Amino acid sequence: MEAKLLGKIILYLSALSWLQSFLLLLFGSKKNEISDNLNKYGLWAFYSGILTIVLASIYLLFNILSYNFTLSYVWSYSSRKLPFLLLISSFYAGQEGSFLLWALFLSLVGFFLYLYLKKYSFEFLPLSFLSLVVFFITIILIFKSPFADIWETFPDGNIPKDFVPQDGRGLNPVLENYWIAIHPPILFLGYSLLTVPFVLLLSSFVKKDFYGFQKASSFWALLAAGVLGLGIMLGGFWAYETLGWGGYWGWDPVENSSLVPWIFVTALVHTLILQRVNGGFIRTNYILSWLSFVGVLYATYLTRSGVLSDTSVHSFVDPGKVVNALLLTGLGIFILFPIVIFFFATKSIPKENRRIGSFSRESFTIFGTIVLILAALVIIVGTSLPIIQDVIGAPKVALEPSFYNQWMLPIAILILILNALSLYFKWKDAQLNFITKQIILNFSLSLAFAIIFFLFINKSIPFAILVFSIVFAITINLKKSVEKILSGNLKLGAFLSHLGIALLFLGSLLSGGLEETKTINLIEGKQASAFGYDFILFKKEQIELDKPDREKYKFHIKVNSSGVSTVVKPIVYWSEFNNFEQPFFEPDIKTFVTKDLYFSPKSLAFTDLFSPITLKKGQKVPAPWSSNDSIHFVSYDMSSMHRNPNQNFFNFGLVINYFIDGKEFVDTVYSLLNLNMNSFNPVWSIVPTKDFSIGFIKFSPEENLENSTVELAFGQEVFIADVSIKPFILLVWIGVIFTVAGFIIAVFKYRHQINNTNFTT
C-alpha cells in the first residue's frame, strides 16, 4: 500500500472517531435510559481517536526516519544529512506536521483528562468538547496532509511516477539547533493544556453545574500557564542565543500571538482564586477560559494562514483556500458556540450577595485582572493591524516595537504596584493606617532608587516610576516570602511568580533601556575597539566540512579588557537552502554577572587593494603588489564536481603558485559555483606572508578549457559586527524561571485540594 494512502486512511478514521466521540458523549450527558450506552460507545470512539492520532504520528515518524522522500512533507523538511535529533524535529517543522503534533498532544492531554475526570467522579462531557477540537484539526490534516506525495503536491512538475528523490531539502538552517527539539513541543503542549479549562467551564455552563466542573479548573489552568510560559521563555532564549536578533523579544506578531493566551490564562488563574474565596466570578472565569482558548485558535490562524507572511519572520506561507476556510470556520464556531451557551445559561447562575471590600485583596486582584485584560487587548489590536490593513486595502505594515513598549509601560507599572499592595490586604477590608505603616519602608526604599535612577541614569519620569514600582514589588514579595518561610509555610508559588515578574521587568528595563551597541569592522590581524574592549580577529575556520550543502565559517575573535582575555566565536555561513544567495549569522555571547557581551555578525564586505588580474591556465604574471613577485596559474581543481551527479553547487578551484620574496608557495583558490544561478561566490583566502586575501571572482569559459580565462581580485575581507553591552540581562532569565516555577509549585498545591475545595462559601 502506498505511504500516502495508508496515512490518509488513518486520518480519515481518526476524524470519524473524534466526530463520533463528540456526538456520543454530548448526547450521553443527558440523563436518560440510553445515556450509559452512549457514554460507553463514546468513550470507545474517544480511545479510537487517540489511537489513530498516535498511529498517524508514528507512521509519519517512520517515513521520516526511513527517508521516504516520495512524501512531499518528508522531502520538504528532512534530509539524510540531518543528525538524529534534528531529523526527529523535522516531524513538526512544517504546517502539516505541527498540526499533527498539536492533535497528538491534545489526544494525550485528553487521555489524562479522562483519568482525572474518572478519578474525581466527574461527568465525561468535557471529553466531548475536546473531541470536537481534535476533530477540526484532523479535518485540516485531511486537506493539508503530511502524507501527500510529491506527484500530488507538484502536479505541474512533470515528475515521473517512478522518480524517487535521493535526498530531501532539509530544514531551514536557522532551525538546525537543539532548541527546535525543545521549544515547539513545549509550546504546543501548553496550547493543548489551555483547552482543558475551556472544556471544563463550557461543560459547567451546558450542564448548569456552576460549581462542579470548576473545581478542577484551577489545577489545569495553573498547569497550562506554567507550561505555556515555559515554552514562551525558551523561545525567547532561543532567539537571543542563536538567531542574532540582539534580543529575546521583538514584539513580532507571532511572538505576540503566543503571549496573549498566556495573559488570559494568567488572569483566569487569579479569578479562579476569587471564586474559591468569594463564590462568585462564575461568568468571568467562563469568559477568560474561552478567551484563552480562542487566543490559541487565533494564534493558529495568524501563524498558519499566511496573513502575516509579509510582516512576521515566523509566519508560515499560505496553506491554500480550503485550509484557510477551515481555520476561519473553526475559529468562528468556537467563538459563537460558547457565546450562545453563555447567554442560555447565564440566567441560571445563582446570585451572589457577598460584598467586596474597597480595600481588600479581592478588589486588588480584580483591578489586576482588568489590567491584564487591557494588556492582552493592546497586543491583539497591534498584532491584528496587518489584517485590518489588508481588508481596507492599505499596505500591510507591522507596528514597531516602540508602540508596544509605550503602551506596556503604564500597564507594567500598574501590574507591579497592584501585585505588591495586594499582599498586605486580607480577603476582607483592611485598616488603611495599618497598611501605611507596613509599607512605609518599602515605599521609601523604592522612592530612593527611583530618584537615583532619574538623576544619574536616565532622566525619564515614566522610567523612574517604573523603577519605583519594580523595587516596590521586589521588596514586598521578598519580605512576605521570608515571613512565610520563617513561619514554616513553604507554599510560595504565588510569591515566587510575582517576584519573577518583577525581576523580569527589572532585567528588561536595565538590559534594554541601558543597552549600548556599536558597529565594528574587523580585518584579520588588526585591532578594533568598543566599550573598553579590544577585538582582534585572529582566525577564520571553515567548519562542518562533511556537509557539502553549506559553506560555514567560524570567526575566532580575541577579546581583551583590563588584562582579562576571552574569545568569541560568531558564525557566518551560506547554504544550499537559499541557493547561497544570502548569508546566515549566529552570534556569540559572553555572560558575566552584571552584563552580557553580545557579539552579533552583520555582514562580510571586501575592500579592493589592487586591480584584478586575468589569467589563462599555465600563465604566469607579475604580482599586483610587487613586480618582484609573481603568480602562476597552474591548473584547475574540479574534483568536487564528481561527488554527486545531482549536486548543483561545487567548489571550483584554481591551483596557484606564488613566488614571493624568492620563495614558492602553493595554494588552491576556490569559488562556489552555483549551476542553477550561474554565479560565483569567491572563498577568500590569505595570500602567503601578506595581510590581504585573494579571491576567484570570475570564470570566462571557452570551447577549449585551455583558452578559458579566470579573474582574481585582491583585497581585505572585512567582518562587520554589532557589539552590544546588555546590563543585568541575567535578571530576565532569573525572572522568567521564577515565574514559571511559581506556577508549577502552585500546580502541586492545587492537585491535592480538589476533594476539599468548597466554592460556595
Confidence (pLDDT) at 758: 43
Residues of the chain with pLDDT under 50: 1, 642-644, 757-761
Q: What percent of the chain has pLDDT over 70?
A: 90
- In this structure, how many other beta carbons lie within 10 angstroms of the beta carbon of residue 692? 18
Please give the single-letter amino acid code of residue 224: A
Q: Is 702 exposed, middle or buried (0-12, 13-18, 19+ CB in 10 A)?
A: exposed
In whole angstroms, give the CA distance from residue 364 to residue 357.
Answer: 10
Quote the pLDDT of residue 301: 85
Neighbours of 279 (CB within 10 A): 18
Pairing of strands 533-543, 527-530: antiparallel
- The pLDDT value given to residue 471: 94
Q: What is the pTM of this model?
A: 0.87
Could you give the angle at the alpha carbon of 166 between the alpha carbons of 67 and 649, nearest 5°?
Answer: 125
Where are the strands (E) in 547-594, listed by range? Answer: 550-561, 564-568, 571-575, 584-586, 588-591
**Which residues fall within 8 angstroms of residue 637, CB to CB, at 6 or more apart?**
651, 652, 653, 654, 655, 668, 670
- Residues 290 and 201: their CA atoms lie apart, in Å, by 8
Residue 706 DSSP code: G
Give the number of other CB atoms < 10 A from CB of residue 331: 17
Using CA atoms, how far residue 219 sits from 276, 751, 752, in Å, is 13, 6, 9
The amino acid at residue 403 is F
State the pLDDT at residue 1. 47
